[in-house]
Amino acid sequence: LRPLLQWLAQTLAAALTDKGGMVPEHMNPMRLALKTYVFADDMKVVRGPDWKWGRQDGGGDGEVAVGKITILKDNGWAKVLWTNGHEDSYRVGSEGGLFDLQPFDLVINADDEPLPVAVQAIVEALEIALKLLRERLPDKAFQHCLGVVWSACVDVLETCLHDDMTGNADYITRADAVLKRLHNYMHAGGEGVPEEALERRSAALHATIRASLL
């Protein structure tokens, strides 16, 4: 168990960095959804992940502009008429799979979002290590190991936030995301660490995160 805890200490810290805490662009759930989405004439659209056309649509400053596809072309482009009267052509899969537009009503389920690189590595390592422990330990001992791993994860995140002097909101938000992912993993739908035990051990960390994000 000790090698696993030592590895977790290093990897959890990496999960809070800009690189480790980001989902690879090619795994962006919106981009993956758009690659298989069928655009059509008269469809309502808004800005997509590759929008680079400034305020042509009349949106910006928190305002979402909605347009309608007037002509869907065969080359991965679509002509759109915006509510401000401007009409122009935009990418819907052309130039190597770029999307200036996305459907107005396209919703991505948060449960389907891929894990950031470092968090995925943590989950995979836990799955392997805990599977071995599960096979070798009786139920009570295995539950104890899960509790130890959870406490170690909380300790590492608390130390990372305590040592961070930048006040970077992204860093804190990633810590919150990592904590939630690990919480769900350790709870395992009721088959892992009891919810009450998870909440009790991480209460102080949750309070720190909430206060830091105010």
More confident residue, 152 or 185: 152
CA atoms within 13 A of residue 150's CA, in its CB half-sphere: 28
pTM above 0.75, yes or no: no
pLDDT at 13 over 90: no
Query: What is the per-residue pLDDT for 179?
Result: 86
Calculate mean pLDDT across residues 136-156.
88
Distance CA 56, CA 35 (A): 24
Query: What is the per-residue pLDDT for 57?
Result: 93
Query: What is the per-residue pLDDT for 3?
Result: 82
Query: What is the per-residue pLDDT for 73?
Result: 94
pLDDT at 186 over 80: yes
pLDDT at 21 over 60: no
Query: What is the per-residue pLDDT for 102?
Result: 93
pLDDT at 38 over 70: yes
Q: Name the percent of the chain lying above pLDDT 90.
A: 31
Provide DSSP, 73-135.
-TTSEEEEEETTS-EEEEEBSHHHH-BSEEETT----GGGPPPPHHHHHHHHHHHHHHHHHHH
More confident residue, 69 or 36: 69
Calculate mean pLDDT across residues 7-34.
70
Q: 80 and 88 in contact (C-beta within 8 Å)?
A: yes
pLDDT at 94 over 90: yes
More confident residue, 85 or 139: 85
Query: What is the per-residue pLDDT for 56?
Result: 93
- Strand order across the 87-91 sheet: 87-91, 77-82, 67-72, 44-47, 101-103
Distance CA 196, CA 149 (A): 16
